[in-house]
Each structure stands twice: as C-alpha cells, then as structure tokens.
Amino acid sequence: MDKVLIIDASRVTAHFIKMTLEYAGFECDIAQSLEYAADMIAQNEYFVGLCSLVYEGHESGDGIDLLVTNGIPAIVVTASLDDNQLKEILKKNIVDYVLKKTEHSEYIVRIVKRVYSNRKIKVMVVDDSVTVRHWIAAVLRRQGLTVLEAGGGEEAYEIFTENQDVKLILTDYSMPGMDGRELTAKLRRCRQMDELSIIVLSSDENSRTAPLFLKTGANDFIHKSASVEEILCRVNSNLEMLELLEESRMRANKDYLTGIWNRRYFFEYAEPLFLDLEESGKKLAIVMLDIDHFKNVNDTYGHDVGDLVLKGFSARLADYFDSVGLSARFGGEEFTVIIEDVDPEELETFVNGFREIIESYSLAHRGDTITYTVSIGVSTDVSLGLDAMINRADALLYEAKTSGRNKVVCEIV
C-alpha cells in the first residue's frame, strides 16, 4: 500500500495526524522540514501528502509546490486561512484544505480515503464547451480520478457503452444534439441511481430545471456559478454514497463467514441466465458440493477449526470456478456453482480437478494435520429450469455420498 507523507514543523500536530490516519489503516511518514520531505519523496512512493502553508526559510506555499511538482496530490493543513490565502492555494491545484482543529480530524481521514479510493474510479465530463470541459476535468484529475471527456450527449453515451466501469458523470444541460436531459434518461435505462451517479451542471436560471432533471434520474444538480469547492464536495458526496450503497449490497449478497456469494445472490445471478438461454445459446451446468464428514471436523477440533475449513474451501472454490461462472455457499458445508458455456466433453474432468485439489489440501492445527474431501453432483439438463436443475444436482450429490464419498457424479444431457 502506498504511504501518506505528512510535512509539518510541529511535532505534536504531525504525530496527531499520523496517529489519526494510522488508526484508519494508512501507513504514514513524517517530515518536519521541506528538505527532509524532498529526500523522503526521492526514496518512497506517496499517494497523497499533507503540508502546512509556511515553513521556516521558505515562501508561503512551497510545501504545496514540492508535492505537486512531484505528482503527489496535496492537502493543506493550516491553523488559519483568510480569503486571499485561499485564492492563492486554490491556484496551486491542491486537493483540499483542512483547518488544524481536533474536530476536523475526521475530515482529514475522509479526504485521504477519498484520494486513495479515487485512483480506481473512472468518471466522465460532458460539455460542448471545450474550455469548461477541460477545466472541470482538470479539477477532477487533481483528486486522483481517471477522467473521460465528451463534447456532447451522443459521444458521451458511446464512450459510456465502451466504459461500463464509469461511476459518475457530470453533464451540461444545453448541448447540440442529445442534451443533458436526454442523456440522463438514456443512461438511466441501463444504470440505476445506486450504480451510476449523474450530476447535471447548468447555467439555466429557470427554477424548474433542477426538479426536471432530478425527476428524470439525475442524482444532483449544480449551477455553473458554483465554486470549485462546492463542485468537489458534491462529487465526493456522490461517490461516497455510491460506495456506501455498494458496501450495503455486498453485505447483503456475501456470505458473512466465507466472503463468497450467498444463496440469495446465486439466484439473483443465475435466474437471468436461464431466461436468456434461447438468445445466448449458452450451455449451463449446476454443481452441488458438500464437504465430507464435516461434522467430524467440528466434533474433533471445534467450531473454530470448522470455520477455518469452510473459509479455506470457499477460497479455493471461488478461485477455481469463478472464472467460468459463479460459486456460492448455500448453507452449512453445502456449496453450489453455476458454470456458463459448458463443454460437455471436458466438464467432468474439469470438476474432478477441483475434487483433487481439495483431496490434496491439508490444514495444520496445533500439531495436527487436518485433511478432508468433497462429494460433488453435476446436472446439465437446462430444460428442467433452475430450481429443478439444482434439485437434480443435489440428487447426484447424494449418489456420490452414498457410493463412497470423495466422488463426482456428473449427468451430461
């Protein structure tokens, strides 16, 4: 993980910030002079730097310049800031500024987390004015975001179809051809508000414009006269909301113990595949798996060790199958996999490969070596439908269990 550089002549302030950020999981280095900071930058990689405005023997803002010229996003931490100073530091392309007050420590963590997360986030700016578009894009790039640009609605939609990982779009309202409202409506047909944030920028003074866009599906509306600070606050708030919603979805869809998908999400994922069979032409397989004699592991070594077995099994299951489909924990020691684009001639060999991996795996615990096996049933008759196919795979799993365990029973149709 890249580190945070804290440049502050005050040992107390620097260590307070360091402690605050390390508690949040960030590794930090401290430099109490710009000379020492320059040496540290030459030897380390930092994804963000926090600096003061003034250092002894230097001009105001030299700390910002040191960070920015080395390609490190700069956050200014200062005891006070008047309007003239604010104008000057904003010209230096900083990420943000924070006042040296205890109650602002949470905001320091928030903005550092934001910069760290932004490195993996793609956004788009849509405006027919090249000047405005480039200005907004530059502001967002300073936040560490990957920024795409489009000169109109049609171009924006085309870029979006080729970049489905775009998380946020800032679009102008009035543009030739497809305007911002049409673009918003079209984007909403393929991405919901909790998946893609759309912020509309407009110079329109009509009081009905903002409600119109919000009803069309925009997440936010900003007047073009807004300050850089306001635009960034809105962008950051929208990105944070998307992350909170994504985290909530993951908690709802992931198994709490093993971290792989749960039964609920398995059906959410698999049902559309069956509805789309005629068009896609995919051959699907349902794989049911059950760890053999798992109760004996719990009874002999305790539930803590049983949990370790489940976690290890799940990690190997996802690693093996998730490139060809989706794996999930159904409950207890029972798991299921849906495989897409099945090759009937290779299916049994492929599934058996996973059985062999589990058979050869061992878990060391307090001087004991714990081994276990898995029984597997595989159904390929898509004409049954999803529920009946699961039941059939479960019946084949039972057959594998009753015929000796540590087996794959595969029914190719």
Give the per-residue pLDDT at 281.
78
Q: pTM for this one?
A: 0.77
CATH number where 81 lies: 3.40.50.2300
Residue 311's pLDDT band (cuts 50, 70, 90): very high
Give the per-residue pLDDT at 376.
98
d(CA 191, CA 186): 9
Give the per-residue pLDDT at 148.
98
pLDDT at 246 over 80: yes
Same domain, residue pair 125 and 112:
no
Does 183 map to a domain?
yes
pLDDT at 6 over 60: yes
Same domain, residue pair 89 and 141:
no
Same domain, residue pair 170 and 240:
yes
Does 255 map to a domain?
no
Show which of 97, 116, 135 is a domain's final residue.
116
Same domain, residue pair 128 and 228:
yes
Residue 53's pLDDT band (cuts 50, 70, 90): confident
pLDDT per residue as tens digits for the range 140-180: 999 999 999 999 999 999 999 999 999 999 999 989 999 99
Same domain, residue pair 49 and 128:
no
Does 393 map to a domain?
yes
Give the per-residue pLDDT at 103.
67
Give the per-residue pLDDT at 102.
62
* Strand pairing report for 362-365 and 368-371: antiparallel
Give the per-residue pLDDT at 26.
95
d(CA 164, CA 167): 8
Q: What is the mean pLDDT of the chain?
A: 93
Q: Is 333 a catalytic residue?
A: yes
Same domain, residue pair 150 and 107:
no
Residue 22's pLDDT band (cuts 50, 70, 90): very high
Show which of 116, 136, 160 is a domain's final residue.
116
Does 256 map to a domain?
no
pLDDT per residue as tens digits for the range 316-352: 999 999 999 999 999 999 999 999 988 889 999 999 9
pLDDT at 279 over 80: no
Q: What residues contact residue 162 under an 8 Å CB cut-off, 6+ apart?
A: none
Give the per-residue pLDDT at 133.
95
CA 108 → CA 61, 73, 125, distances in Å? Answer: 19, 14, 27
Annotated active-site residue in 333, 334, 348, 411: 333
The number of distinct structural domains making up the chain is: 3
Give the per-residue pLDDT at 1.
57
Does 107 map to a domain?
yes
- Residue 377's DSSP bridge partners are 288, 409
- Which of 22-26, 35-39, 105-109, 122-126 shows the lowest per-residue confidence on average (mean pLDDT)? 105-109
Same domain, residue pair 54 and 70:
yes
**The token pair that represents 220 in the structure block:** 């936010």
Kindly state the average pLDDT of the residues 233-257.
94
Distance, CA of 297 to chain centre: 35
Residue 56's pLDDT band (cuts 50, 70, 90): confident
Does 127 map to a domain?
yes
Same domain, residue pair 8 and 63:
yes
d(CA 159, CA 181): 17
pLDDT per residue as tens digits for the range 170-217: 999 989 999 999 999 999 999 999 999 999 988 888 888 889 899 999
Give the per-residue pLDDT at 101.
75
d(CA 361, CA 370): 9
Same domain, residue pair 90 and 130:
no
Report the amino acid identity of residue 28: C
Q: What's the per-residue H, E or C state across the chain? A: CCEEEEECCCHHHHHHHHHHHHHCCCCEEEECCHHHHHHHHHHCCEEEEEECCCCCCCCCCHHHHHHHHCCCCEEEEECCCCHHHHHHHHHCCCCEEEECCHHHHHHHHHHHHHHHHHCCCEEEEECCCHHHHHHHHHHHHCCCCEEEEECCHHHHHHHHHHCCCEEEEEEECCCCCCCHHHHHHHHHCCCCCCCCEEEEEECCCCCCHHHHHHHHCCCEEEECCCCHHHHHHHHHHHHHHHHHHHHHHHHHHECCCCCCEEHHHHHHHHHHHHHCHHHHCCCCEEEEEEECCHHHHHHHHCHHHHHHHHHHHHHHHHHHHCCCEEEEEEECCEEEEEECCCCHHHHHHHHHHHHHHHHHCEEEECCEEEECCEEEEEECCHHHCHHHHHHHHHHHHHHHHHCCCCCEEEECC
Give the per-residue pLDDT at 140.
95
Does 130 map to a domain?
yes
Q: Which domain holds residue 94?
A: 3-116
Same domain, residue pair 111 and 124:
no
Show which of 85, 116, 147 is a domain's final residue.
116
Give the per-residue pLDDT at 57.
82
pLDDT per residue as tens digits for the range 252-261: 999 999 999 9
